[in-house]
Structure 1
Amino acid sequence: MYTEQIKRIKDKISQLEDLDQDLEVFGADTHEYTLNPVLDEKEVSKFEQEHKVTLPKDYVAFITQIGNGGVGPFYGLQTLAEASINEEEMLVMGNSTSALLQKPFPHTTAWNPLEQLGALDDKIADAYDKGDEELEEELYEERLEIIGGEEHDYGRLNLCDYGCGITLFLVVTGEQKGIMWTDDRMNDGGLYPSIELENTANLSFLDWYELWLDNSIAEFE
């Protein structure tokens, strides 16, 4: 499974590295076209058993046949271990990696918390104007809970740093399993299926990765 696509991707990585000797592609000076050693299937199975999750098969094909992170879109790919840890969420909520991965990612379409916050922001402004600091703080905490609720971190591997606080992630649990999504809550962009590569359709991991290679190679043509 995925044999032909894996071969194409390997060839295109080599082609892009040859073309980009000066590391002109965005983020190339970070990963420098270096792939981490692959994982063997036993290591992947151990991870899945420990966390009670089944990873998308095309992603498994990549980390067992091409590399466990390294060269990739934007600032490169995290390793499986790095991608599965949401340090901020565990620090704040005390959740384990397993707890976050096992619960289904809650969204099936783009979601932007700003659409829910208009009336709440008006209340916060009103409390500020009245000097009611206690109510203002209470409402602000409610606002933070809407934007940063732990459910938005369920069922995802944070694979890629786009910069400016934007994270690209692979859904591993829930209806959107296998699809690449973007977390742009930091810039009020919400959560949405990834479109940074100018694609209009939702992309699986390997299709997303290969599209990045195609776009990058095209920059030199």
Structure 2
Amino acid sequence: MDGIWTGVRERVLALREAPGRTEVFGAESPRGGGHGFELLPVLTEAEVRAVERSLAVELPAEYRSFLLEVGAGGAGPDYGLFPLRPPGPDTPPSPEPPFRPELTAELESGEPERDDYADEAAFLAAYQLWDARADELHDALTDGTLCIGERGCAYYNLLVINGPHLGTVWEDVRAVGEGVVPLRLPGGTGPVPFARWYLNWLHHAERRAWDTAAGAPPRPRATDGAA
């Protein structure tokens, strides 16, 4: 895709040798693990098409080319990218409806207040309706998205795969009752396209991991390819 991912896999894998690699958030977890600047192998065109058939969508172009040229998961923003695995041949399709960010505003409109109702029965009836609708909204907020990574504290990164915001990254912050909101980079405005999000992380990870005393990173090794 116009060379946007040229050399990116090699740059990520080179960070395994960087002196400050453990200073990059998410590379190593205090609980053990972390992405360690590893990447899964890339997917084939046939595997990407199998994913698309299962979701009844065409994946966003930047993410699609990432899967084909960089990897199917691994090192990335926060605690890394979740693996994307092609479905088995007998897996039934599970079409994704469009993403509807306006549902967050409805969820945040607030629960009924007792003082707004003449009696307890009217309040309870209204509350039950609101509670049922809130459950529906929580379930529907992530329609049309792929959960592509964990931010920590039950926050997640979502990629829109269906709807007007196709290809942009959003934050799932339902854990604190704030629904799904646009991800914003410092000094910028959101929503943020997938490639900008990932390459912004890589730029800052390289600055953090390769301190000035250590000099520039070495040239990628030939064995650091996509195999």
TM-score, L = length of structure 2:
0.74
Aligned residue identity for 1:68: A
Q: How many residues align?
A: 200
Contact kept in structure 2, 1:113 and 1:190, CA below 8 Å? no
Per-residue deviation, 1:208: 0.8
Aligned residue identity for 1:122: E
Matched, 1:13 2:12: yes
Q: CA distance change for structure 1 residues 110 and 201 in 2, over 3 Å: closer, same or farther? A: farther
Q: CA distance change for structure 1 residues 115 and 213 in 2, over 3 Å: closer, same or farther? A: same
Give me the whole-angstrom Cα distance separating, in 1, the residues matched to 2:41 and 2:106: 39
Give me the whole-angstrom Cα distance separating, in 2, the residues matched to 1:121 and 1:149: 20
Q: CA distance change for structure 1 residues 33 and 13 in 2, over 3 Å: closer, same or farther? A: same
Give me the whole-angstrom Cα distance separating, in 1, the residues matched to 2:194 and 2:173: 19
1:54-133 alignment, distance < 5 Å: 54-81=58-85, 98-99=94-95, 101=96, 103-107=97-101, 111-113=104-106, 115-117=108-110, 120-123=111-114
Per-residue deviation, 1:160: 0.7
Matched, 1:142 2:132: yes
Aligned residue identity for 2:182: P
Q: CA distance change for structure 1 residues 110 and 9 in 2, over 3 Å: closer, same or farther? A: farther
Give the fraction of aligned pairs with identical amino acids, expressed as a percent. Answer: 29
Higher helix share: 1
Contact kept in structure 1, 2:112 and 2:123, CA below 8 Å? no
Aligned residue identity for 1:208: W
Give me the whole-angstrom Cα distance separating, in 2, the residues matched to 1:163 and 1:111: 21
Give me the whole-angstrom Cα distance separating, in 2, the residues matched to 1:67 and 1:11: 11
Q: CA distance change for structure 1 residues 12 and 110 in 2, over 3 Å: closer, same or farther? A: farther
Contact kept in structure 1, 2:12 and 2:38, CA below 8 Å? no
Partner of 2:43: 39
Per-residue deviation, 1:79: 1.5
Report 1 or 2 for greater relative contact order, CA contacts < 8 Å, sequence distance ≥ 6.
2
Give me the whole-angstrom Cα distance separating, in 1, the residues matched to 2:80 and 2:156: 11
TM-score, L = length of structure 1:
0.75
